[in-house]
Amino acid sequence: MILAKTRKLLAGVAAVAVIIAFGFAYAQQGPRGKSSYMPVDITEPFSTIFARLSAQKPDVAREHMALLNERYDLSNRPVAGIAMDRTKPVQEGVRVKLPAGKTWEALANMSPEQIRDQNVFPKGFYPLPHPK
């Protein structure tokens, strides 16, 4: 009986010690740095934000479309007789544009180091930046 009470007491003391140790460790941390997330506190009125972004939209769309045209073949070349759901045509061929003077066969014969050194990796495989 006394042994069981002693074990419970020791377990309780150990739990309190762990809680106190974590409390001290948390208190020792410095202040948080700047976050990469956009602030949630919006101080600008919605109408101002809407007007500003609406005015920027044509320029942003033009720049983003120029980037897409630089990287990809956006022409409409549907495959005859093949369609997705609701009869949307499937486009034919590879759509990523290669650097000038390069072919897929030439890239296949190059080592990864040569592709990196000559900077001929197709830009269409890089992630797209955010339009803004």
pTM: 0.59
pLDDT of residue 119: 92
Chain segment 5-53, per-residue pLDDT in tens? 788 888 888 888 888 877 776 666 666 667 667 667 788 999 999 999 9
Asked if the model's pLDDT at residue 105 lies above 80, the reply is yes
Contact criterion met (CB below 8 Å) for 63 and 89:
no
pLDDT of residue 87: 85
113 pLDDT band, cuts 50/70/90, is very high
pLDDT of residue 39: 64
Average pLDDT over residues 98-125: 93
Question: Among all chains, which residue has been given the structure tokens 């009470």?
Answer: 5
What per-residue string of b and e applies to 48-69 under the rule 16 or more CB within 10 Å gives b? eeeeeeeeeeeeeeeeeeeeee
pLDDT of residue 98: 93
Closest CA to 107 of 124, 121, 123, 127: 121
pLDDT of residue 29: 66
Chain segment 57-77, per-residue pLDDT in tens? 999 999 999 999 999 999 999
pLDDT of residue 1: 65
